[in-house]
Amino acid sequence: MKICDPILLIEDDPLDIMTLQRGFRDINAKNPLSICYNGEEALEFLSQPSNPTPALIISDLHMPRMNGLEFLKIVKSSPEWCKIPVVILTTSQEEEDRLTGFQLSVAGYFVKPFKYINFVEKLQIIYQYWCLNEVSTFIS
């Protein structure tokens, strides 16, 4: 992932959105960040030709209208979107959610920590990994 590559965040909690935006600023991530509030809205975003294809999707699990796992199932079954890496960032520690996510080819599963400093540490790890990863050359 390059600095100009967009990231799509799918999150319904305004406080978590603000925390992620602040976290991205604190780790000096300059990537454009698009925000959708549920899976349906994210599918609509991805369907719009005028929107850039994200190099990374970070998704919560528990959201209204369409949750993260339902979204993941659709994205990973689509020939045009299946190569986009999706990382789950959620409060869910349920083993079933984790297993289902990996069965649906999630690229990573992270539980949101309660302390901001720990949140930023996890975000830094996710970001650094995808900046080093060469997968973005296969997306487009």
Q: What is the pLDDT of residue 1?
A: 66
Residue 100 domain flag: yes
Q: pLDDT class for 134, splitting at 50, 70, 90?
A: low
Residue 13 domain flag: yes
What is the rounded distance in angstroms from the CA atom of residue 2 to the CA atom of residue 134?
Answer: 10
Q: In whole angstroms, what separates CA 68 from the centre of its chain?
A: 9
Residue 40 domain flag: yes
CATH number of the structural domain spanning residue 36: 3.40.50.2300
Residue 33 domain flag: yes
Strands 56-59 and 86-90: parallel
Q: What is the mean pLDDT of the chain?
A: 91
Q: How big is the chain by its Cα radius of gyration, in Å?
A: 14
Q: pLDDT tens across 8-65, in order?
A: 999 999 999 999 999 999 999 989 999 999 999 999 999 999 999 999 999 999 999 9
Residue 43 domain flag: yes
Total structural domains in the chain? Answer: 1
Query: Residue 28's CB: how many other CB atoms inside 10 A?
Result: 9
Predicted TM-score (pTM) of this structure: 0.91
Residue 2 domain flag: no
User: Looking at per-residue confidence, does 126 or 70 come out higher?
Assistant: 70
Residue 50 domain flag: yes
What is the rounded distance in angstroms from the CA atom of residue 109 to the CA atom of residue 61?
Answer: 10
Which residue range is the domain that position 59 belongs to? 7-138
Query: Residue 128's CB: how many other CB atoms inside 10 A?
Result: 13
What is the rounded distance in angstroms from the CA atom of residue 88 to the CA atom of residue 91?
Answer: 10
| pLDDT, average across residues 76-102 | 94
User: Looking at per-residue confidence, does 4 or 92 come out higher?
Assistant: 92
Residue 1 domain flag: no
pLDDT cut 70: percent of the chain above it: 94
